[in-house]
């Protein structure tokens, strides 16, 4: 039975299934002893079902950290922050103090969904043309924007943790950093994924002296099976536990970050052009995390909550669901549902590109983008047997809606967003739930390591549109600006049934995050899959581009039928090639019984754990 049918019938869907560390040089990789903390160790599983709380992350260490916090009486927010700190050790190329992220949180006591926005901000001196080369009048090459101080936004992770814990947590930050400190000192076993991520970055890491010293021990990527330790990050976490967040946002650590951004420690013999950034200490002092109201739409009797702008995740997921809501799909024939999903995504991405940016800096018509009237006006353009030629034009979310109103706005090109993010979900025994996206943008962020501190800085400002539009072109809400947050696609999503949590889901993947979350929801709610099946199923993404990009298994299974409807289906180019996202999710199967789900294979697979497994 589909979740949609169960929601209509008010039925529950069927269940689916310390020793003292030896201090070593930063980044030293040594032969791995027989140890418990091993990302490739037995016990790493993609699905776990049980009681007392649950977690799914990309990493066994992080999942174990969260479960231990839950077992010791911490709540879901405590566990999410502790897991995030551990990911800063074991997944340093996607999660770190030098980045930011978004959280959605269901508070069981208040029976309400909240958000915490820890998105990075641009320095106060950034202009619309800050990424433009004055000699050419064109945006600087994208790789130069990435590996630079210019692309580094004011980090938001630590402020986000502080806000989240002060409002919703039960443990102090110092306590929650202890598991990550142990992992950083003791080290973790290097798996193929970590080795490959380092190898991809080897050339630019070699040119940045502190980064080379930390992540290229012995002058090369650490070998699979070796142990990677980061005593610098352990010391940083210890000092952070003593000094608190103001150490970054108004103290010495902040000054170290600013020096790193403004004067990157480039090897004198390197030929790479690593541009200095604009960040100043007052930019750190001015940073504040935000707690905006979540987005909310109703779909098949369920309430779907997401992140509002500066993320486009909640608005675009919600808009697509609104467009699909008046159609009925047959789980025995998924092609019509997939066609509608792809066509609705095409339309919603056109509207996203035209209207969504930082709401503190530009006017975002969020209420109208999520209105049923606008959804009906846009969905009327979807033809059941024929794919529209992309890119399509945006609509007019102006409150005046008519059947099949033709789109008349000017289309904006899809801005590049790095796919190298991570997502985790946590639920506790009280029914609190967290969905949390954390990132430093590219694998390895800017490539700039704060000397002696053990963490990389982000390159999130490359999520802005780097080239201002030509005169007469469509306005762009995502241009750089002072104190502005670049638009994101991160979409940590909570689904409630009768006011209580039912599903939580999210993924990395840059601009494919939105389509991955949508496809998982479509699979689970409309196509009759259980959550493990919905998350593992092959994926396709349509972001208002001429092609539908898809994983090989999706092309093999659905490609011919969709091509017959006019879709241009091509292999997803990555990175990583052929793989879309690396999702995590959880579902409440019945009161108290939770199923946590991670990727079984994508990016090496994830780790799902519960406090008390169901026998």
Please give the positions annotated as active site: 421
* Alpha-carbon dihedral 281, 258, 129, 489, rounded to 10 degrees: -100
The CA distance from 100 to 121, in Å, is 9
The CA distance from 582 to 235, in Å, is 30
How many other β-carbons are positioned within 10 Å of the β-carbon of residue 359?
16
Report the residue count for the chain.
615
Which residue in this structure is represented by tokens 């579902």?
587
Would you list the DSSP string of 133-172? Answer: -TTTSSBPPHHHHHSSSTTPPBP-HHHHHHHHHHHH-SS-
Q: How many CA atoms lie within 13 A of 139 on its CB side?
A: 21
How many other β-carbons are positioned within 10 Å of the β-carbon of residue 9?
10
Quote the DSSP letter at residue 228: E
CB 439, CB 100: distance < 8 Å: yes
Say how many Å lie between the first and final Cα of the chain, rounded: 24
CB 508, CB 313: distance < 8 Å: no
CB 351, CB 369: distance < 8 Å: yes
The CA distance from 598 to 463, in Å, is 27
């Amino acid at each position: 039975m589909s979740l949609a049918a169960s929601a209509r019938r008010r039925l529950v869907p069927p269940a689916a299934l310390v020793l003292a560390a030896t201090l070593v040089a930063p980044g030293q990789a040594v032969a791995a002893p027989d140890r418990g903390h091993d990302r490739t160790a037995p016990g790493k599983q993609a699905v776990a079902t049980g009681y007392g709380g649950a977690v799914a992350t990309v990493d066994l260490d992080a999942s174990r950290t969260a479960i231990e916090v839950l077992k010791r009486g911490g709540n879901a927010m405590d566990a999410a922050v502790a897991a995030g700190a551990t990911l800063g050790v074991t997944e340093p190329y996607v999660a770190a103090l030098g980045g930011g992220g978004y959280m959605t949180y269901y508070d069981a006591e208040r029976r309400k969904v909240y958000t915490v926005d820890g998105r990075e901000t641009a320095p106060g001196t950034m202009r619309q043309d800050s990424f433009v080369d004055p000699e050419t009048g064109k945006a600087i090459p994208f790789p130069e924007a990435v590996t630079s101080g210019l692309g580094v936004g004011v980090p938001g992770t630590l402020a986000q943790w502080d806000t989240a814990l002060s409002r919703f947590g039960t443990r102090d930050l110092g306590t929650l950093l202890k598991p990550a400190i142990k992992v950083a000192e003791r080290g973790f076993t290097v798996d193929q994924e970590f080795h490959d991520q380092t190898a991809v970055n080897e050339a630019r890491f070699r040119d940045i002296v502190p980064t080379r010293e930390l992540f290229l021990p012995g002058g090369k990527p650490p070998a699979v099976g070796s142990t990677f330790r980061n005593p610098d990050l352990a010391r940083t976490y210890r000092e952070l536990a003593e000094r608190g967040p103001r150490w970054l946002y108004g103290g010495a650590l902040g000054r170290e970050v600013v020096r790193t951004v403004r004067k990157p420690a480039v090897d004198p013999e390197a030929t790479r052009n690593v541009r200095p950034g604009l960040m100043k200490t007052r930019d750190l002092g001015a940073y504040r995390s935000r707690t905006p109201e979540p987005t909310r739409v109703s779909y098949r009797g369920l309430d779907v909550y997401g992140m509002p702008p500066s993320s486009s995740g909640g608005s675009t997921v919600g808009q697509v669901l609104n467009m699909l809501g008046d159609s009925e799909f047959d789980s025995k024939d998924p092609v019509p549902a997939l066609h509608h999903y792809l066509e609705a995504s095409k339309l919603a991405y056109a509207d996203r590109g035209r209207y969504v940016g930082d709401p503190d800096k530009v006017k975002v018509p969020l209420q109208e983008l999520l209105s049923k009237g606008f959804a009906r006006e846009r969905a009327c353009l979807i033809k059941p047997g024929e794919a529209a030629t992309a890119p399509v034009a945006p609509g007019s979310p102006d409150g005046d809606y008519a059947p099949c109103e033709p789109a008349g706005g000017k289309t904006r090109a899809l801005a590049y967003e790095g796919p190298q993010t991570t997502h985790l979900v946590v639920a506790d025994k009280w029914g609190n739930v967290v969905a949390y996206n954390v990132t430093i943008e590219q694998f390895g962020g800017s490539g700039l390591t704060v000397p002696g501190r053990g963490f990389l800085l982000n390159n999130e400002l490359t999520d802005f549109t780097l080239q201002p539009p030509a005169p007469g072109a469509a306005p762009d809400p995502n241009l750089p600006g002072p104190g502005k947050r670049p638009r994101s696609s991160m979409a940590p999503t909570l689904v409630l049934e009768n006011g209580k949590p039912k599903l939580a889901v999210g993924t990395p993947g840059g601009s494919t995050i939105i389509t991955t979350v949508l496809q998982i929801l479509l699979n689970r709610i409309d196509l009759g899959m259980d959550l493990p099946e919905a998350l593992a199923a092959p994926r396709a993404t349509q972001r208002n581009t001429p092609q539908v990009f898809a994983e090989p298994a999706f092309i093999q299974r659905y490609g011919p039928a969709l091509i017959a409807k006019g879709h241009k289906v091509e292999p997803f180019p990555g990175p990583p090639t052929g793989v879309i996202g690396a999702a995590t999710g959880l579902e409440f199967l019945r009161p108290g019984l939770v199923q946590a789900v991670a990727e079984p294979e994508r990016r090496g697979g994830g780790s799902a754990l519960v406090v008390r497994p169901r026998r």
